[in-house]
Structure 1
Amino acid sequence: MPRLRHLLVCCLVVVAGCGTEGLPQADDPVDLDPAEFTADITNPWFPLEPGTRWTYRETTEDGETVDVDVIATSVTREIADGVTARVVRDTVTRDGDIIEDTLDWYAQDADGTVWYLGEDTAEFEDGELTTREGSFEAGVDGAQAGVIMPASPEVGMTYRQEFYEGEAEDNGEVLALGRRASVPAGEYDDLVKTADTTPLEPDVLEHKLYARDVGLVLTVDKKAGGREELLAVTHVSPAEARRAGEAPLGEAY
């Protein structure tokens, strides 16, 4: 989920549910009230029912392909800022070998907005760890939570998705509603279209399309020309849903 991976408001955003004007921007500090959050993610555009598995195929501009498996695990984690989050496993493989493995942490506020609270991520080459760059946890070393999906998306909404200075500074914007897309998993309409950018890589621009009760179905790299398409939505066993949230990064589960 955010593997991509403007407005500066000089105030403290106190979150007890977020509407259009309450979405965090840039490096705005937020004071999250854990009592206002749940690890049960029911936002229709970004549902995370434990045991759900999304399978994607990512194709680069050079024609190289990788496989992406995303599992909403049955595991939760209390983040440093006090919020209990759902752990989501995001594993990228090439020819069966893990090249990137991530545990993402999400929680939903009282209004239904889905927040991104950090990630534990690792990249591998020939089975060897090469970097942990991009890992962060809201409440640690100045890192701040961000929004991954507003409760009621509206065209023109902007929000930061994450903030850890110099490491993770992705931003999102709702570009359109009611869009359509065809991917291997099927035909989808009434989609929410967003744009993902980051000041750390000014030339990067990703458009993402989200389907109601499904989640992310298509990502298009507008600069480089790559695509990530949904192949299938399935479910794993309770045991696998737990292992996916507990297995060390880089290890099969």
Structure 2
Amino acid sequence: MLAGLCGPGTALTFDRSAFPASPTIDNKWFPLTPGMQYTTTGTVIGAEGTTARTVTHSVTGLTKLIDGVKTQVMWDRDYADGELVESELAFFAQTDRGVVWLFGEYPEEFENGEFTGAPATFLSGLSGAQAGIAMPAAPRAGTPSYVQAHAPAVNFLDCGGAVQENQRVCVPTGCYDDVLVIDEHNPLEPAVGHQQKFYSAGTGLVKVTAVGGDKQETLDLVKAEKLSDAQLRDINQQALILDQHAYQVSTDYARTPNAEVATDSSGAK
């Protein structure tokens, strides 16, 4: 057990028996329904200037066993000025009590269209990495911070905590009156500053802003859509290709079972 990573009382406790045999993630602040795809756009302002950013988050129909827990696979694609800079698989599972946990990330990096590696990869149970809380079951402003994940081998430690509730936020997809604000930061990298993420019940992430740090990133939700069955099958196949490539890139990843297709139906009509 890791003690106090994000302040007093933030030791990580991990209980495999708290997770169902197959992942269902229906936390109202962090729903991951296979076949849903979310697109956010914004800018990153740093010392080198301003970069336009687009991130596409696809909830695949894949599952993957990590650290004894079957997780739901998310596939994110990150574009800077229209060019792919990162393609990432992220792995989530929800306890029977509704707490969503992050079990790892495999982020491939690209430069000028060429794959350069995946040095920030971490998977719970390997190389000292441990899963953490992506979203509490019932987050409340003013409650203690929590560890979102810890991977000392890649200097990854994210701390989160709810700081506001019932906020009104307007983005291109509409205005939301029930918004929960989560503050996130990595105490190992103070120069990065803090991110604040805005979540609406039933939708999930709708906005990201920066508080301090050497890069100021803002993102707004511009599209939330349910993919067709054919589109989900295509997303599944592309994510499986990424999963297979990871075995050639990461020795830790090579120690995990292959991702599997759990569903190829989005339920779209």
CA distance in 2, matches of 1:247, 1:58: 28
For residues 51-81 of structure 1, the C-alpha deviation after alignment (integer angstroms, 9 at most, x for no partner) is 00000113012432021100000000000x1
- The structure 1 residue matched to 2:121, chosen from 109, 120, 135, is 135
Unaligned runs of 5+ in 1: 1-5, 10-24
Distance 1:87 1:205, change over 3 A: same
1:45 aligns with 2:29: yes
Judge which range, 58-67 or 202-211, deviates more.
Answer: 58-67
CA distance in 2, matches of 1:180, 1:208: 13
> Contact 2:75 / 2:239 at 8 angstroms: preserved in 1?
yes
Matches within 5 A, 1:95-244: 95-157=81-143, 158-167=145-154, 168-203=156-191, 204-223=193-212, 224-236=215-227, 237-244=231-238
| Structure 2 match to 1:30 | 14
After superposing on structure 2, the runs of 4+ consecutive aligned residues of structure 1 that deviate more than 6 Å are none
> Contact 1:71 / 1:244 at 8 angstroms: preserved in 2?
no
In structure 1, what residue type is equivalent to 2:150?
F
CA distance in 1, matches of 2:142, 2:205: 19
Secondary structure of residue in 2 paired with 1:50: coil
Distance 1:230 1:78, change over 3 A: same
In structure 2, what residue type is equivalent to 1:122?
E
CA distance in 2, matches of 1:208, 1:60: 15
Judge which range, 120-129 or 68-77, deviates more.
Answer: 120-129
> Contact 2:185 / 2:194 at 8 angstroms: preserved in 1?
yes
Percent identity of equivalent pairs:
31
For residues 172-205 of structure 1, the C-alpha deviation after alignment (integer angstroms, 9 at most, x for no partner) is 0110110111111111111110100002211320
Cα drift, residue 130 of structure 1: 2.6
| Structure 2 match to 1:85 | 71
Distance 1:94 1:60, change over 3 A: closer
Cα drift, residue 142 of structure 1: 1.5
In structure 1, what residue type is equivalent to 2:226?
H
> Contact 2:52 / 2:82 at 8 angstroms: preserved in 1?
no
In structure 2, what residue type is equivalent to 1:164?
A
CA distance in 1, matches of 2:80, 2:224: 20
> Contact 1:34 / 1:83 at 8 angstroms: preserved in 2?
no
Cα drift, residue 242 of structure 1: 1.4
Superposed CA RMSD: 1.9
CA distance in 2, matches of 1:128, 1:108: 35
1:70 aligns with 2:43: no
CA distance in 2, matches of 1:191, 1:244: 33
> Contact 2:71 / 2:92 at 8 angstroms: preserved in 1?
yes
Q: TM-score scaled by structure 2?
A: 0.79
In structure 1, what residue type is equivalent to 2:55?
V
> Contact 1:211 / 1:217 at 8 angstroms: preserved in 2?
yes
Q: TM-score scaled by structure 1?
A: 0.84
Unaligned runs of 5+ in 2: 1-5, 246-269
For residues 102-155 of structure 1, the C-alpha deviation after alignment (integer angstroms, 9 at most, x for no partner) is 000000001111000001111110122234222111111211100011111111
CA distance in 1, matches of 2:137, 2:19: 18
